[in-house]
């Protein structure tokens, strides 16, 4: 895994997804080397880079131009740009123009989660998987309900992680905000 | 319970202890109206005020003069000053000069936790109780081990609470740092 | 607070709501002595007894007859039966027949959450409050969305608590399942 | 990662370490293909198998004969036995007889944590790492304090994960017990 500090950041762009969450997403994805991944809402590029390092091709989309620039900068920094195609547009647009993918990863849906899941599921190969990371309560229930409706078998974990700072007077734990990972199996 | 926003705060003083934690501390304390409480490390005064509202007398000590001033300001604001005696000194000093108390509450020990527990336990009435709130890992294990050594029956809970902000796009959960409550039963 | 072990239990009835959660619910409810409370889904009676101990009147309903019997047994055990009226029926029925209440507490809705909130909100006094405890993800988002629609200002906390067992070899923490409290303010 | 259900289990042996925790341990370990790992307290073999799949050699020790048998059975099931040497003895014994290792992983120390860390640290290559998983509060503080004393730079995360069961009536979250990972960096 990359470290959180390995990424160039920008206050106008959320992320990067914390190292521990990237680790769990990659694990739940059961990614294969030959996979092609579409990631929606790439933000700082944390997950984009993790996928790019491990698979054949990543398509990353974000409607925030700063996110695209930042993801590109991080890809260049870590020498992974050639593995990734970046799209600065609405995710639904990218989805419509894309051919088959092995995995759909949704980090932010811009309010179009249901449509993205609907269309995205049609672009998946027969063994394809969908992974949603959710920081909003509503994203969790919408993703679960829609994925069930689309015929997927779905699992969810909620992750609460605290990280210690080892100070002179003792070890102080700092909480990261809770995040859920919803994934098809 | 007071709300977190009911307290005057000061960036030089930790606290107030979050509403939910104050609630659990008061519950675990099984406080009675006639109780006299010694609180060590009063900080902003969050717990001082909760105890003062519910018992006969609170003695609050902090070695940070800003904490004493801030606790006093909060007591005045909520009209509870007459129930509380404030001590700006080392906790061990207050402890040595105090007579019997029904409850010892430790929010911060300034590195003297073991001595404070040792001497504090001698000042407790026969049914007296000790409660420690801990944000450092070391405080938890030291408190448990010392209280056991002193012959108390001890319990501990670890609390991870997230609070929602209900935004236009959904409900975002924000984590509070984990905190433990160690208490004799 | 009652201890979890203060309650008679029955494997056919969920609960009691854990002590720490009862504590937080009572705190968030800002209950007053003169309040009349309607509780839906009383289960073992954990919250029923806490409210009964602190307010004027509690109406408790559950469609599971074992829950009604168990809550009654616990009320008798703790000498609180005279404060509580028990209803073995659909919550919507109780709601329709009830006059004004100061507080609506929903621990289980039997799938009728939206209607219960809709009708329940009409039975509230002008300062009345609604509290929902949720163990299902869907309950959280439905409660928040419906309460907002009904014009309430809503807050939510998610609570993850672990309790220690102090063994010979050290202190082992056991997690309670996460639970959320949604409440109007 | 293996799934939790990929392992043969035995009620007399703890584990396997949950999938999510194995995932985080492997990530924090920054394991390399050529690494030799010593694992103390292998239990069901969950971590043994994950390391065996990814590195050159694993030495696994447990003083519980059932744990050794179970780990062997799991290694055979997943065709990894040739990568692993099993020791049914006190960890200190294995440590004394072993040459250099790249990584020391401690899942259970049988009460000898400090000595194990002391001697283990002498067996590490210059870039070697130590990882401790802790379910006891005391293990966390002892590991941190000893590793600091031995001159390591130490980090800790505390992990609280809940897993959903998607039922007819909604998604119910079940908490796993909290676990900490302490690791040198």
pLDDT by 10s per residue, chain B, length 185: 999 999 999 999 999 999 999 999 999 999 999 999 999 999 999 999 999 999 999 999 999 999 999 999 999 999 999 999 999 999 999 999 999 999 999 998 888 999 999 999 999 999 999 999 999 999 999 999 999 999 999 999 999 999 999 998 899 999 999 999 999 99
Using alpha carbons only, what angle is made at residue C106 by residues C154 and C101, rounded to the nearest 5 degrees? 85
A171 touches chain B (CB under 8 A): yes
CA distance B65 to chain C (A): 31
- Residue A149 contacts residue A117 (beta carbons within 8 Å): no
Looking at residue D168, its pLDDT comes to 87
Using alpha carbons only, what angle is made at residue D70 by residues D66 and D71, rounded to the nearest 5 degrees? 120
Helix (H) or strand (E) holding D185: none
> Which of D138, D158, D178 comes nearest B141 by C-beta?
D138
D162 CB-near residues (< 8 Å, 6+ apart): A157, A158, C160, C177, C178, D173, D174, D175, D176
Q: Is the pLDDT of residue C117 over 90?
A: yes
Using alpha carbons only, what angle is made at residue A180 by residues C110 and A183, rounded to the nearest 5 degrees? 90
Tell me the C-alpha to C-alpha distance, in Å, between residue D45 and each of B74, C93, D58.
56, 55, 11
Q: Which chains touch A (3 or more CB pairs under 8 A)?
A: B, C, D
Nearest to B25 by CA among B4, B7, B47: B47
Q: Is B86 helix (H, G, I), strand (E, B) or coil?
A: strand
Share of chain C above pLDDT 90, in %: 97
A12, exposed or middle or buried, with CB in 10 Å at 0-12, 13-18, 19+? exposed
| pLDDT tens readout for residues A44-95 | 999 999 999 999 999 999 999 999 999 999 999 999 999 999 999 999 999 9
| pTM for the predicted model, two decimal places | 0.96
- Residue A29 contacts residue D1 (beta carbons within 8 Å): no
Residue A21 φ then ψ, to 5°: -75, -40
Q: B137–D160: do the CB atoms touch at under 8 Å? A: no
Distance separating alpha carbons of residues B160 and A44, to the nearest angstrom: 28
| pLDDT tens readout for residues D139-156 | 999 999 999 999 999 999
Q: D174–C176: do the CB atoms touch at under 8 Å? A: no
- Residue D42 contacts residue D109 (beta carbons within 8 Å): no
Distance separating alpha carbons of residues D149 and D139, to the nearest angstrom: 15
| pLDDT tens readout for residues D58-84 | 999 999 999 999 999 999 999 999 999
| pLDDT tens readout for residues B105-134 | 999 888 899 999 999 999 999 999 999 999
Q: B171–A135: do the CB atoms touch at under 8 Å? A: no
Residue A14 φ then ψ, to 5°: -70, 155
C151 CB-near residues (< 8 Å, 6+ apart): none
DSSP class per residue in B103-148: EEEES--TT-HHHHHHHHHHHEEEEEEEEEEESBHHHHHHHHHHHH
B166 touches chain A (CB under 8 A): no
Q: D158–A159: do the CB atoms touch at under 8 Å? A: no
Q: Is D172 helix (H, G, I), strand (E, B) or coil?
A: strand
Domains of chain B, CATH where assigned? 4-184 (3.40.50.150)
Share of chain A above pLDDT 90, in %: 97
Residue A151's Cα: distance from chain center in Å?
22
């Amino acid at each position: 895994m990359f470290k959180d500090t390995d990424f160039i950041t920008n206050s106008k762009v959320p992320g990067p997804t914390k190292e521990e969450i990237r680790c769990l997403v990659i694990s739940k994805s059961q990614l294969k080397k030959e996979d092609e991944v579409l990631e929606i809402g790439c933000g700082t590029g944390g997950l984009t880079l993790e996928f790019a390092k491990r698979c054949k091709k990543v398509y990353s989309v974000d409607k925030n131009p700063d996110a695209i620039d930042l993801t590109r900068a991080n890809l260049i920094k870590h020498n992974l740009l050639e593995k990734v195609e970046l799209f600065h547009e609405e995710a639904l647009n990218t989805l419509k123009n894309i051919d088959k993918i092995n995995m759909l990863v949704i980090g932010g849906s811009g309010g179009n989660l249901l449509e993205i899941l609907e269309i995205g599921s049609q672009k998946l190969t027969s063994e394809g998987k969908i992974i949603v990371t959710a920081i909003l309560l509503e994203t969790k229930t919408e993703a679960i309900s829609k994925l069930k409706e689309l015929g997927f078998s779905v699992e969810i974990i909620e992750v609460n992680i605290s990280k210690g700072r080892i100070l002179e007077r003792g070890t102080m734990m700092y909480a990261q905000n809770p995040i859920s990972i919803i994934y098809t199996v």
